[in-house]
Structure formats: structure tokens, C-alpha cells
Amino acid sequence: MATWHGKKHGTTQYENRYAIGLCSLALVLFASACGQQAPKDTRAADESTIRDLDAQWSKMAAAKDVERTVSYYSDDASLLAPNAPIAGDKQSIRAAWASLLGPDTSLTWQASKVDVARSGDVAYVVGVYQMTMKDPQGKPATDRGKFVEVWKKQPDGNWKTVADIFNSDLPAPAQTRAPSAEKKSRHHRRSTKRGRANSRSGGM
């Protein structure tokens, strides 16, 4: 009886250690699962932040504040303006805005759509702009168009624009033929008519 009791007592201790081990493993797995949970969804807050930033940006451009306008771009941003090469650094972007925000220019824009990625680190903005300037004859001219901005959350947590593209809704101006080309065309038509007239006269 003593021997059997000793075996039973040893088996019970083994079972207790086994149960404790299983509980510890379960706790470790549970803690690991909690640590791997998906990041918190901040899209609504990020969308509101980006809308506010974009509205402030438009106000800085309307005030013709070039430096503060350029400050909304990241250091590696690209500006893709119409009828111009890509501006791929802050110096080129600053020069483009300095040329655009002249004394006779008024520019405003408004975001119509802001879409933030589930990851919470990148977003894009779609909207429309209106710009008034003076044409070569000094008369006011208005341009309307659309834009797309790509925003990226920086290491410090702030949102900056990394890509910016815009273009006009207005039809392209009709191309006029060069005066020399027009003169050559008229001369060719007159020569052709004379040749046909001479041909008919010779046949008669």
C-alpha cells in the first residue's frame, strides 16, 4: 500500500506541473495574440486632419505666401504642373509657386474627396480649383480645373503632400497657323488654279 501511495502521489505532482505548464503556455499565446491585434482605425480622424490642412494650404496660396505654401510638401515631393517639367525638389517647387502666385493672380481650391488608407499612413485628395489672372492683353481670365494630391504621414506624425498634380477643365486654345505657312498655302492654291486653267486652255 505504501508503494502504491507513493506512486499515486508522484503522479499527482506530475499532473499538477503539466497543468501549470499548459496554463502558462495558454497565457503566453493569449498575450502574443493581443500584441498582434490590428492597429487602431484612425481613418476618420486622419481624414478630418487632412481636410483641415488642405483648407489652410489653400488660404496660404490665396494670401500669396510662397514659403508657407511650399511648407505643405514633404522634402521628397513632386509637383506635376501642366505645360511644365516635373518639379522634384523643394527648390523647384518653390520656383513654380513663386511664378504662379504673381501679383495679378488669385488662386483657391477645395477638396471634394479625401480617402485614407486602412494603414493610416497614406491618403489621396481629389478636388477642384479656380484661378483668375490677366491675359497678355491685360484682361482678367479665369481658369477652372481639378487636382489630385497624395499625402503621407511623416515619421514625426505630421501629414505632408508627396505628389501634387493639377490641370485645367477648359479646352485647349485653337492653334493658329504661322503667317509664313499660311502664305505658302495660299501661293500653292493660286499656282494650282493657274496650272489647271492653262491645262484647259491648251486642250481647247
Domain at 89, CATH number: 3.10.450.50
Number of structural domains the chain divides into: 1
The answer, as to whether pTM is greater than 0.85, is: no
Whats the size of the chain, residue-wise? 204
Q: Is residue 157 part of a domain?
A: yes
Stretch 139-167: mean pLDDT = 96
**Residue 131 in domain:** yes
- Does 198 fall in a domain? no
In this structure, of 20-29, 102-111, 158-167, the range with the lowest mean pLDDT score is 20-29
pLDDT at position 52 over 60:
yes
For residue 129, tell me if it sits in a domain. Answer: yes
Does 30 map to a domain?
Answer: no
In a domain, 6, yes or no: no
Q: Which domain holds residue 107?
A: 43-168
Q: How many whole angstroms separate alpha carbon 96 and alpha carbon 174?
A: 26
Specify the pLDDT at position 173. Answer: 77
In-domain check, residue 136: yes
Nearest-angstrom CA–CA distance, 163 and 138: 33
- Region 94-117: mean pLDDT is 96
